[in-house]
């Protein structure tokens, strides 16, 4: 039970760290590089430096999680990490919406609950699971969370425009 609370605390710290990172100037620089390397370089952002630091930041977080997992299991080997588990984690990110923390949380909750909810369809469970994933990629390529933040910002701008017209 103590591992649960330690893991929960680590997750909360990582979420706080990443959300603070996203709202900082560093996060803005990374988003700029994501959109256009050349434009970012033209305004003085060094893409190689920021990409390397983003890679190192991700590796540091992954090393903390990996060391916690090793302590939890007591023994770790390459067979502890199957390809299907790696693909499942990547699918959680894509399904929830890349680039959004709430999307990743929602995606992981859905992908954890969906196979259990379809357990009564033992023969067709994986087929239905795959069909849902394909339909999501066709109809919601941004994921479940998708462009929620962008839509919220559009509504804020529209609301501000309406207020300005009233004055």
Contacts 24+ apart (CB under 8 A), 136-144: 136/95, 137/94, 142/97, 143/94, 143/95, 143/96, 143/97, 143/98, 143/100, 143/103, 143/107, 144/95, 144/96, 144/97, 144/103, 144/106, 144/107, 144/110
Residues 6 or more apart whose Cβ sits within 8 Å of residue 58:
none
Domain ranges within the chain, ordered by starting residue: 1-81, 83-167
φ/ψ of 106, rounded to 5, equals: -65, -45
Residues 6 or more apart whose Cβ sits within 8 Å of residue 127:
none
Give me the torsion for CA of 115, 73, 107, 148, rounded to 10°.
170
Q: What is the pLDDT of residue 162?
A: 53
Q: What are the DSSP E strand ranges found in 13-72?
A: none
Q: What is the pLDDT of residue 148?
A: 61
Q: What is the pLDDT of residue 157?
A: 57
Q: What is the pLDDT of residue 152?
A: 61
- pLDDT digit string (tens) for the chain, length 167 residues: 788 899 899 989 988 998 898 889 999 999 899 889 999 999 999 999 999 999 999 999 989 888 988 888 888 888 878 887 887 888 888 888 877 788 888 888 888 888 788 788 777 777 877 887 788 888 887 787 776 655 566 556 555 555 444 44
């Amino acid at each position: 039970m103590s591992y649960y609370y330690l893991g929960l605390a680590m997750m909360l710290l990582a979420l706080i760290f990443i959300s603070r990172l996203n709202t900082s100037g560093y996060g803005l620089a990374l988003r700029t590089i994501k959109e256009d390397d050349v434009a970012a370089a033209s305004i003085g952002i060094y893409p190689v430096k920021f990409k390397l630091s983003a890679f190192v930041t991700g590796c540091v977080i992954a090393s903390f999680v990996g060391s916690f997992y090793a302590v939890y299991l007591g023994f770790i080997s390459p067979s502890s990490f199957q390809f299907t588990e790696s693909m499942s984690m990547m699918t959680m990110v894509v399904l929830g919406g890349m680039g959004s923390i709430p999307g990743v949380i929602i995606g992981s909750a859905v992908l954890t609950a969906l196979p259990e909810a379809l357990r009564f369809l033992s023969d067709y469970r994986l087929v239905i699971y795959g069909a849902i994933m394909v339909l999501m990629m066709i109809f919601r390529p941004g994921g479940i969370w998708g462009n929620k933040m962008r839509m919220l910002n559009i509504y804020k701008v529209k609301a501000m425009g309406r207020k300005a017209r009233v004055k």
